């Protein structure tokens, strides 16, 4: 099977497994795992921040960040399609007591003045806004990159309002590789980031919460409260260190493969190749005779797995376990399924 459902389906490579097997470990709840500490220091430095915290998932790292920025009964603003409000099962409200209000969805094309107008001041009439969250790259819009100028403008909005700015950077590596914007430049724009090792970078597990030393100390308590204190997880952190050494620059290959898939399927009127910026290809089947479930079923029968995001929307994601040959084979199968 050629699995294009998500970049979370990758399996650790032999080199990564060797690094994991050789990792020096200790009890990380006691602060004694040297490999976890090395990963945290490395990721903090990559984004130009003081500190970082290893978390089991991107969802937990996002929710830790939100809880450090937004007190209970206060508000977070984000895109209507953001992972933090779509796929984290109401965690902001259920765990953090945080209210969320959304714009759009707008993918990478955020209307900054509209977001600025949503910010509510402290007071007893309305829920006060305490943070804005963005997603880089934006998953449900098809891996769109939010332009640097938009992020800079949002930083100014946050500064003027005295509120926080969070980045769900599950795929910020892709934005960095696609635009050549340095990670430190992205890092400098946000109060908190959550960056994933288990998506494009190909580790079996792991995300990192990045911020000031003070917020990371608070985040360590929040992580423990949520059951995320982990023990000899240097074996997992070692996979992250290996991925940072070997799997960042190669994301350009995934982007090229996504572009190739889009070009092959463009004649069917289901995708505009110009809209594909990173490793995600959305197939808009609104004008096709084939609906999403039918396409996914035919693809599966041909040995290709795709995600169904809506009745007429499918998603394909390229990743570490998808080769050039896989892309060509998948394009043939999908083309036949669309005919
Ligand atoms: C944009 C985005 N943020 C956060 C996450 C959460 O990651 P996890 O599945 O590790 O909780 C994902 C997962 O795919 C994602 O796509």
Give the pLDDT confidence of 23-61 residue by residue, as tens digits. 999 999 999 999 999 999 999 999 999 999 999 999 999
Measure the CA–CA gap between 262 and 281, rounded to whole angstroms: 7
Give the mean model confidence (pLDDT) for residues 101-126.
96
Atom of ligand 1 nearest to the CA of 198: 10
Check: CB of residue 146 under 8 Å from CB of residue 181.
Answer: no
Atom of ligand 1 nearest to the CA of 139: 1
Structure confidence at residue 270 (pLDDT): 98
Structure confidence at residue 319 (pLDDT): 98
Atom of ligand 1 nearest to the CA of 57: 10
String of DSSP letters for 208-256 = EEEE-HHHHHHHHHHHHHTT---SSTHHHHHHHHHHHHHSSTTHHHHHH
Structure confidence at residue 156 (pLDDT): 98
**Residues within 6 Å of ligand 1 by CB:** 8, 57-59, 62, 83, 135, 139, 168, 170, 196, 198, 207
Judge if the upstream peptide bond of residue 164 is cis by omega within 30 degrees of 0: no
For a substitution probing ligand 1, which of 78, 83, 138, 175 has the most ligand atoms within 8 Å of its CB? 83
Structure confidence at residue 75 (pLDDT): 98
Distance 112 CA to ligand 1 centre (A): 24
What residue's CA is closest to ligand 1, atom 8? Answer: 58
Measure the CA–CA gap between 304 and 219, rounded to whole angstroms: 40
Residues 6+ apart with CB under 8 A from 4: 304, 305, 306, 307, 316, 317, 318, 322, 330
Give the pLDDT confidence of 244-264 residue by residue, as tens digits. 999 999 999 999 999 999 999
Measure the CA–CA gap between 22 and 294, rounded to whole angstroms: 46
Give the mean model confidence (pLDDT) for residues 93-105.
98
Task: Provide, rounded to the nearest whole percent, the portion of the chain with pLDDT above 90.
Answer: 99
- On average, the pLDDT of the chain sits at 98
Task: Provide, rounded to the nearest whole percent, the portion of the chain with pLDDT above 70.
Answer: 100
Half-sphere exposure of 245 (CA within 13 A, CB side): 10
Q: Is the pTM of this model over 0.85?
A: yes
Give the mean model confidence (pLDDT) for residues 180-200.
98
Measure the CA–CA gap between 290 and 181, rounded to whole angstroms: 39
Structure confidence at residue 259 (pLDDT): 98
Structure confidence at residue 313 (pLDDT): 98
Measure the CA–CA gap between 336 and 179, rounded to whole angstroms: 34
Atom of ligand 1 nearest to the CA of 60: 11
Give the mean model confidence (pLDDT) for residues 141-155.
98
Distance 122 CA to ligand 1 centre (A): 31
Cβ neighbours of 112 (radius 10 Å) = 17
């Amino acid at each position: 099977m050629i699995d294009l459902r998500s970049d979370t389906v990758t399996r650790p490579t032999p080199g990564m497994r060797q690094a994991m097997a050789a990792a020096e470990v200790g009890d990380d709840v006691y602060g004694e795992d040297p490999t976890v500490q090395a990963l945290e220091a490395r990721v903090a430095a990559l984004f130009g921040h003081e500190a970082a915290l290893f978390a089991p998932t991107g969802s937990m790292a996002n929710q830790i960040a939100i809880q450090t920025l937004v007190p209970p009964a206060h508000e977070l603003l984000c895109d209507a399609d953001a992972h933090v409000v779509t796929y984290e099962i109401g965690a902001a409200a259920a765990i953090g007591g945080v209210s969320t209000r959304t714009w759009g969805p707008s993918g990478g094309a955020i209307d900054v003045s509209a977001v600025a107008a949503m910010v509510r001041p402290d007071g007893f009439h309305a829920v006060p806004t305490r943070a804005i969250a963005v997603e880089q790259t934006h998953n449900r819009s098809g891996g769109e990159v939010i332009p640097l100028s938009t992020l800079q403008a949002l930083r100014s909005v946050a500064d003027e309002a005295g509120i926080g700015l969070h980045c769900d950077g599950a795929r910020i590596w892709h934005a960095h590789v696609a635009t050549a914007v340095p990670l430190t430049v992205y890092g400098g724009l946000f109060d908190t980031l959550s960056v994933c090792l288990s998506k494009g970078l190909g580790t079996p597990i792991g995300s990192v919460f990045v911020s000031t030393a003070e917020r990371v100390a608070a985040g360590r308590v929040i992580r423990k409260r949520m059951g995320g204190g982990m023990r000899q997880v240097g074996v997992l952190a070692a996979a992250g260190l290996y991925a940072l050494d070997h799997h960042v620059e190669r994301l350009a290959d995934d982007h090229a493969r996504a572009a190739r898939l889009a070009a092959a399927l463009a004649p069917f009127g289901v995708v505009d190749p110009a809209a594909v910026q990173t490793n995600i290809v959305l197939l808009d089947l609104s004008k096709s005779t084939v609906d999403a479930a039918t396409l996914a079923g035919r693809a599966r029968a041909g040995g290709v797995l795709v995600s169904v995001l809506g009745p007429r929307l499918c998603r394909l994601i390229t990743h570490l376990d998808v080769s050039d040959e896989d892309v060509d084979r998948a394009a043939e199968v999908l083309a036949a399924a669309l005919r």
